[in-house]
Amino acid sequence: MSCFYLFLPGAGYHSTQKKDAYVKLCKSKCLKVSHLLKKGWGAVECVAEAVKCLEDSVLTNAGMGYNLNLSGSVECDASVMEGKKLMFGAVGAISGVKNPIEVSASLVTRQLGDKLSLGRLHPSVLVGDGAKQWAEENGIKTLETRHLITDDAQKTYQNHKRELDIVNERDANKKMKLSEQEEEKIQDTVGAIVMDTSGNIATAVSSGGISLKQPGRLGPAATYGAGCWAYNQRPGKAGVGTSTSGSGEHIMKTLLARESALSIQREDNASLGLSNCFKNNFLESEFLEEEADKLAGVLALKQNEGDTVEVLWGHTTDSMCVGYMSSSLKKPKVVMSRLPEGGIPGKSFTMSGVSI
């Protein structure tokens, strides 16, 4: 059984100037997870470690340096799902934790363990102070929120807040004019999909959310069926994993992770399944009729009978960076996917994929 792992440093906008940095980031994390899989780590452990490494990068909008909310504070969402017993764990609007994905993974691990007394169920989703308290009680490092705010994040927040104040004072319909660097930070959610040597699939996603978001806002990275989905191969059903990125409210309204996974499972041709989902369940979704620009990216893995594996990615955003690797590949592969010439972000769609 081949092991397989891939990473998504966000669907959104990626400048050509930072392409080499994104490629280097993806390659290094693919190699790290390769080493962990060879040591016998399971899918949940590896997918959490993959996202943790991405959270630690200042290139991404997750973990260290992520977007600040309207009050200038940090609140992050993250989730993990595993495909064997279909357990899901998530944290929402959590603050004071450097790696929210660790809390999500601990929730999954706890659900896979012993039952609670008196018929109680382990929690699958925790938010706010309750999520931080869980982290503290379970040995996950916490820290003061101010230590999570980088100079770049603070500068971006101040620029965005200044633009918002101008808009509020002069013209409610005026769109903020963002610099290339600021635009790049807006939708850089990160995610990962891992299939371990036993064929178990796990997926994860982590995000700091949109800049200037309302305090307390819950995003797709903490929402069941929206941010990630995992399902192991079963008789008559292909194994599948998905991770999403983009405009949170669009992704939540369409349950994009789950819908794309189900669409891929229904079709013998995985590419057709993902394409149908983007067309019917996203761009033409009745739930997004009032939205002019519909922004999302999906990373997907499909395990077919005979253990052949397909990796797919598609997006309506300007760009999407994907890295992948398997036991049959000597080196990781990284793709900076962009809309074709003439494509319009939010209205056009592009996709690609490989079979391993």
| pLDDT tens for each residue of 251-282 | 999 999 999 999 999 999 999 999 999 999 99
Q: Which residues contact 92 (CB under 8 A, 6 or more apart)?
A: 77, 125, 126, 127, 128, 131, 218, 219, 222, 223
Q: What is the pLDDT of residue 6?
A: 66
CA 91: distance to chain centroid? Answer: 13
- CA–CA gap between residue 60 and residue 68 (Å, rounded): 13
Which regions of 169-295 does DSSP assign to beta strands (E)? 190-195, 201-207, 228-231, 239-246
Give the list of residues 6+ apart from residue 341 with CB closer than 8 angstroms, or none: none
Mean pLDDT along residues 63-74: 80
Q: Identify the pLDDT of residue 183.
A: 45
For all residues of the chain together, what is the average pLDDT? 88
3-class SS of residue 118: helix
Closest CA to 228 of 352, 37, 77: 77
One-letter identity of residue 152: D
Q: Do the Cβ atoms of 301 and 229 come closer than 8 Å?
A: no
Tokens for 192? 């990962």
Mean pLDDT of 150-162: 84
Q: Residue 188: beta bridge partners?
A: none
**Separation between Cα atoms, residue 130 and residue 125, nearest integer Å:** 10
What is the SS3 assignment for 221? helix
Provide the b/e sequence for 241-256 (b: ≥16 CB within 10 Å): bbbbbbbbbbbbbbbb
Q: Specify the higher pLDDT residue, 315 or 23.
A: 315
234, pLDDT greater than 50: yes
pLDDT of residue 267: 94
For residue range 105-140, list pLDDT tens digits in order. Answer: 999 999 999 999 999 999 999 999 999 999 999 999
Cβ partners under 8 Å of residue 3, min gap 6: 34, 37, 194, 195, 196, 197, 326, 327
Neighbours of 258 (CB within 10 A): 21
Residue whose entry in the numeric block shows the structure tokens 């305090």: 215
- 147 compared with 94, residue with greater pLDDT: 94
Name the pairing type of β-strands 125-127 and 88-94.
Answer: parallel
Nearest Cα to Cα of residue 64 among 20, 96, 22: 96
Q: Distance between CA 53 and CA 33 in Å, rounded?
A: 10
Tokens of 37: 């899989």
Give the whole-angstrom CA distance, residue 6 versus residue 327: 12
Q: Are 196 and 41 in contact (CB under 8 A)?
A: yes
Domain 4-355 CATH (choose: 3.30.70.3420, 3.60.20.30, 3.40.50.720, 3.40.50.300) = 3.60.20.30
Res. 179 pLDDT band, cuts 50 70 90: very low
DSSP assignment letter at 124: S
CA-wise closest residue to 315 among 189, 222, 231, 175: 189
Evaluate whether 62 touches 54 at the Cβ level (below 8 Å): yes
User: What's the rounded mean pLDDT across residues 92-114?
Assistant: 95
Query: Is 150 assigned a catalytic role?
Result: no
Q: Average pLDDT in the 168-192 region?
A: 57
Q: For residues 198 and 307, what is the distance between their CA atoms, to the nearest angstrom?
A: 11
Q: d(Cα 143, Cα 49) in Å, to the nearest integer?
A: 19
Residue of 85 and 325 predicted with greater confidence: 85
Provide the percentage of residues in the chain whose pLDDT is more than 90: 61
Q: Do residues 222 and 53 make contact, with C-beta atoms less than 8 angstroms apart?
A: no
What percentage of the chain reaches a pLDDT higher than 70? 89
CA 159/CA 266 separation, integer angstroms: 46
pLDDT for 169: 65
Identified catalytic residue from 109, 189, 317, 350: 189
